[in-house]
A and B are shown apart, each in its own frame.
Chain A
Amino acid sequence: MTGAEVGFFLHFFSSSSSPPLLLSMSSYFAAAAAAVWGSTATETTNTHINPKHATQEEVDRRVDALSAALASTDAAALLRKGGEPGLLPTASADEIDRATLSRWLKAEKLDVASAAERLEKHARWRADYVSRRSEAEARPRRERERDRENKRCGRAVILASKRRRQTPRRRFSTPILTLFSPLFQSLPNPGADGTHRAGEWGCVSGRRATLEDGRAARRAGRGRFEFLDGTGGIRCFFFLSSFLFFFLVDGTAAAAASSSLSFFLQPDLLSKKTPLSPLSLSHASTHHSPRSPRSSPTIRSSSNREQTPPAGPSSSSLSGSTTRTATRPRSRGSSGSSAGCSTCPSPRPRASAPPRTEAARISLRWGTGS
């Protein structure tokens, strides 16, 4: 209805005094108003309304309009092809459930045209990208199989690096141990190398020790690294002394016993100045590296006896099993000889090293893992 027509009707009602003519014109006006109202109702579905201020009747009316607008398209089929089942099982196969329509409408402030356009675009995207994955019943079974496989022959990688921090009062040189382990794997990792970064352990050098995230500074102890995995309840302890470190895994004795653990040494991981270099525990040249004589990882047994790896391809991996973890941080500078390297001289034992009673229960064994 144009402005001229409205002006005509207003002028007629203000100037006309003939009842029959008024009656006939009023009926014409009613018919015209109905026609105008119909077109206005269509137009109002394309206006923005804040969903919080809209009535439920208005939302329902626009949902119906959106459903009607999408009825002639293949949006429903594309959505189902892309794995969008809808929130309600009452929707038939050739229509989209009202909850989905309502969500897209509210996202577009109840604008039916814009919501229909976005929903069609999303349906095409979903059919193209999401349908490539095989979902449904096979996925949990595959995940369980993968978990069993990881427990059987999981491979953990530990990266040792150093991070320097400086505060106005002091400088920190923080060794960082990063564990990449499929033992902690709980989410699918498509396209990756199969390892997951489980966490970082940090400890300031010297007597003040803290975790990397700043938690439990007092509990961290002296050179003791602790990490509690939030998903599996797996606790790992790292003990760092002046020239050696070894690790313990608690709670996953069975998994750790069959896991192949490889160590890599990365002196400056963050700056990426040094390429990643594998550090074989039985490799003599790595042990005698003059660059990092204090940070070479050496596996220590608790009873101060050497753990000599067997010859062959299994010498570069370590399988650690723990029967019980130490509960008290070990003091610095413990004595003992390095393991896995027959050519390495034994570190000079310190006379003041206290006896380690808890660590006597720790056993480490070598192997390739099953």
Chain B
Amino acid sequence: MGDGKLTAIFDLRGASMDNMDVASLKQIFGLLQSHFPERLGRMVFLDPPVIF
């Protein structure tokens, strides 16, 4: 985005608890939160399930 911020796009088509790797997601988000602060500029969820 020009200022060092990123746009994250999550393709959630067909996502459900059956194919969700919660442990990996926790590691990924922990890594982003601990080492890449203030880097998220925009987050886009594509076709999220109804839980969102």
Asked if chains A and B come from one complex, the reply is yes
CA distance A107 to B32 in the complex (A): 12
Asked if residues B4 and A99 are in contact (CB atoms below 8 Å), the reply is yes
CA distance A126 to B35 in the complex (A): 8
Cβ-neighbour of B39 out of A103, A118, A215 (below 8 A): A103
Main secondary structure of the interface of A (DSSP, over half): helix
Asked if residues A213 and B13 are in contact (CB atoms below 8 Å), the reply is yes
Closest chain A CB from B41 CB (angstroms)? 12
Asked if residues B35 and A103 are in contact (CB atoms below 8 Å), the reply is no
Asked if residues B35 and A104 are in contact (CB atoms below 8 Å), the reply is no
Given contacts A87-B4, A99-B4, contact A104 B13 (CB under 8 A): no
Asked if residues B35 and A107 are in contact (CB atoms below 8 Å), the reply is no
CA distance A210 to B13 in the complex (A): 14
Cβ-neighbour of B35 out of A106, A125, A215 (below 8 A): A125
A193-217, CB < 8 A from B: 200, 212-215
Asked if residues B34 and A122 are in contact (CB atoms below 8 Å), the reply is yes
Cβ-neighbour of A103 out of B13, B14, B34, B37 (below 8 A): B37
Asked if residues B34 and A212 are in contact (CB atoms below 8 Å), the reply is no
Given contacts A87-B4, A99-B4, contact A107 B14 (CB under 8 A): no
The residue on B at minimum CB distance from A108 is: B37
Interface string of B1-17 (1 = CB under 8 A from A): 00110000000011000
The residue on A at minimum CB distance from B39 is: A103
B10-52, CB < 8 A from A: 13-14, 34-35, 37-39
Asked if residues A122 and B35 are in contact (CB atoms below 8 Å), the reply is yes
The residue on B at minimum CB distance from A100 is: B4
Which residues from A are CB-within-8-Å of B13?
A: 213, 215
A91-145, CB < 8 A from B: 99, 103-104, 106-107, 118, 122, 125-126
CA distance A126 to B34 in the complex (A): 11
In the A-B complex, the 4 residue pairs with the smallest Cβ-Cβ separation, listed nearest first, are: A107-B37, A103-B38, A87-B4, A213-B14
A–B Cβ pairs within 8 angstroms, 21 of them: A87-B4, A99-B3, A99-B4, A103-B4, A103-B37, A103-B38, A103-B39, A104-B37, A104-B38, A106-B37, A106-B38, A107-B38, A118-B37, A122-B34, A122-B35, A125-B35, A126-B35, A200-B14, A213-B13, A213-B14, A215-B13
Q: Interface on B for A, CB 8 Å cutoff? A: 3-4, 13-14, 34-35, 37-39
Known: A200-B14, A213-B14. 19 other contacts (CB 8 A): A87-B3, A87-B4, A99-B4, A103-B37, A103-B38, A103-B39, A104-B38, A106-B37, A106-B38, A107-B37, A107-B38, A118-B37, A122-B34, A122-B35, A125-B35, A126-B35, A212-B14, A214-B14, A215-B13
